[in-house]
Structure 1
Amino acid sequence: MNHPPTPFERTAVDLPEGRLSVVTAGDHGSPVVLLSGAGQDNALLSWRHLLPALAAEHRVFAPDWPKQGHSRPWNGLADHDALTAVVTRVLDYFDLDRVTLVGMSQGGAMALSYAIDHPERVERLVAMAPAGIIAFPPGVHQLLWLIARSRFLNSTLPERMFRTRESVAGFLRRGLFAGPVEDFDSIVEEVLEEARVSGTGSSDWQNASIGPWRMRVDLRPRLAEISCPTLFIQGDKDVGVRPGRTVEAARRVPGARLEILEGNGHWVNRQSPDRVNVLVREFLAEPPA
């Protein structure tokens, strides 16, 4: 499905920690907030195709997370509490009472969490391969915790991995995609540019969400508290968030829908944007329950 080009505007929201950059599109309709992933992701990188698809019928807001994209420099830790506050600040700045939250990976975890803690502000919810629903076996968990705290493993090695076009392309094919991607070359260049500008390594949220013995961010026990219409979208070949985890999470959310995209990896919104766009647009167009 092709959509006419839609201009993207940026709004700078000055906060005590730094300047938060928010991409906006659309001038009428119900508001939708798009929350991107971690690492080298940013608002335009994740939502380049969904933004124009939604802008014809909705007001769309896509913040760059702190320390990603244009939201830098940023003072302080961008952990779970800080990102929760960022979502509230975006809603308050644009005078948005109730919104649809659409989140990918780290953004999916924040969307789920926000719907749990602030149900009065979330009209609908879309979670794509969400983080925050995963646990690791003993040994593996402790190894990941050590990696999160090692500057060499968490920064120096990723810097080498994102140094060349060939290494970035290999990472994308192995870790984020599971098949052909129409604009793959463009994505490689976008990721390279984000790595050059914002650096490499895991996000503060990723590093802070894992404790020495258990996950500090584990939303599974509270998923049943989500009361708004919810759609999960998951690639069946995702190696980052295994499909079974999302299936289990969807079962915990009352009345939730689950769409499994065959032949897709973790980054479904970039591997199959047309399919994802249709799913999200149709979900938003459904009448209230």
Structure 2
Amino acid sequence: MTAPLVPAGARVGFVAHAGGRVRVLRGGGPGGVPVVLVHGGGPDNAAISWFEVFGELARSRPVLAPDLPGFGRTDGVPVDGSPAAMADLAVAVAGAGPAVWIGVSMGGDVVLNVALRHPGAVAGLVAVAPGGLAAYAGNRVLHPLAWLACRLPDAVLLPALRLAGRFTGAAVRAMVHDPASVPPAVREEMVRESRRAPTGYLRYNQATVGPWRMRNDLSGRVGRIRAPALFVHGRQDRLVDPRDSLRAAAAMPDARAVLLDGCGHWVQIEARDRFLAELGPFLRRIDDEHDRGART
């Protein structure tokens, strides 16, 4: 198996935090408003989620992508699992200054929390098939079963999740509409990630799945987010309902949602060019607004 995955244009570094260290991918240089990329859950890390788009984004601006606690090569940092705690950590690692926060799936949940908890850090927000907008895990009937599963001891759950993560082909088929769109290097990194104890995703599920409904449902709060926002969602997403993004965008004062046909959960992987085509005008708008503000 090849060396650990590093996207084009990325440099690997570490930031000391809470007695441990957070792996951070950095790229780009002076230019547009910085971008912070937040990866999803499951067998994922910053290099996996953003492999296809990191280099292109770094051509025009500084880019930073951390591995959240319990994922990738971040180690020694307490794994809380709550989206709020991950949002606070991401802001601390990103440093001062507003940025465009882009998160996918679980990372979408995190960046929505960044916007709510740290509005001064957010110049713009992009949520890709975000979690954090559903009332139930699956549906009202099945939800209590999901909660009971999350209550099982680590001695049961960690080996089970690690075993499930080994079936990379099945995971890819669940994530995307067209499995052939996932590069072999991303598949290899997913296998590597699945061999680690999946504490990050386990703690996220334990923190967010309540006995009767989701604890992280932000659908009633996203209307407070004033930053410009873009939701991008695959119309064929089997993991997160695209209607969640449509409803959230409609509830926010400066947001729009785009559904991409022929795409599943990972639009930034399987529809790279279309994703960047939607993202480009949004980033240019944020850059223009930042420049006008700097001149006043």
Tell me whether 1:107 sits opposite 2:110 in the alignment: no
In the alignment, is the contact (CA less than 8 A) between 2:11 and 2:26 conserved in 1?
Answer: yes
Pair 146,84 (structure 1): closer, same or farther in 2 beyond 3 Å: same
Secondary structure at 1:170's aligned position in 2? Answer: helix
Q: Report the counterpart of residue 245 of structure 1 in structure 2.
A: 244
Distance in 2 (alpha carbons) for counterparts of 1:91 and 1:24: 10
In the alignment, is the contact (CA less than 8 A) between 2:235 and 2:259 conserved in 1?
Answer: yes
Q: Report the counterpart of residue 27 of structure 1 in structure 2.
A: 29
CA RMSD of aligned residues (A): 2.0
Q: Report the counterpart of residue 72 of structure 1 in structure 2.
A: 75
Count of aligned residue pairs for this structure pair: 278
Deviation of the 1:248 alpha carbon: 1.0
Relative to the length of structure 1, the TM-score reads 0.89
Distance in 1 (alpha carbons) for counterparts of 2:231 and 2:241: 13
Q: Report the counterpart of residue 209 of structure 2 in structure 1.
A: 210
Pair 198,8 (structure 1): closer, same or farther in 2 beyond 3 Å: farther
Deviation of the 1:79 alpha carbon: 2.1
Deviation of the 1:221 alpha carbon: 1.0
Q: Report the counterpart of residue 268 of structure 1 in structure 2.
A: 267
Pair 266,153 (structure 1): closer, same or farther in 2 beyond 3 Å: farther
Show structure 2 runs of 5+ residues with no match: 1-6
In the alignment, is the contact (CA less than 8 A) between 1:238 and 1:266 conserved in 2?
Answer: yes
Which residue of the other structure, out of 125, 135, 158, is the alignment partner of 1:155? 158
In the alignment, is the contact (CA less than 8 A) between 1:17 and 1:76 conserved in 2?
Answer: no
Distance in 1 (alpha carbons) for counterparts of 2:178 and 2:271: 10
In the alignment, is the contact (CA less than 8 A) between 2:101 and 2:124 conserved in 1?
Answer: yes
Deviation of the 1:156 alpha carbon: 3.0
Q: Report the counterpart of residue 37 of structure 1 in structure 2.
A: 40
Deviation of the 1:186 alpha carbon: 2.7
Distance in 2 (alpha carbons) for counterparts of 1:35 and 1:285: 20
In the alignment, is the contact (CA less than 8 A) between 1:38 and 1:202 conserved in 2?
Answer: yes
Pair 168,6 (structure 1): closer, same or farther in 2 beyond 3 Å: closer
Tell me whether 1:14 sits opposite 2:19 in the alignment: no
Partner letter of residue 47 of structure 1? Answer: W
Q: Report the counterpart of residue 192 of structure 2 in structure 1.
A: 193
Secondary structure at 1:126's aligned position in 2? Answer: strand
Deviations 1:185-219 (A, max 9, x none): 33221110111245478342222011112221111
Q: Report the counterpart of residue 91 of structure 2 in structure 1.
A: 88
Relative to the length of structure 2, the TM-score reads 0.87
Superposed, which structure 2 residues align to 1:113-192 within 5 Å? 113-136=113-136, 137-150=139-152, 151=154, 154-163=157-166, 167-173=167-173, 175-192=174-191
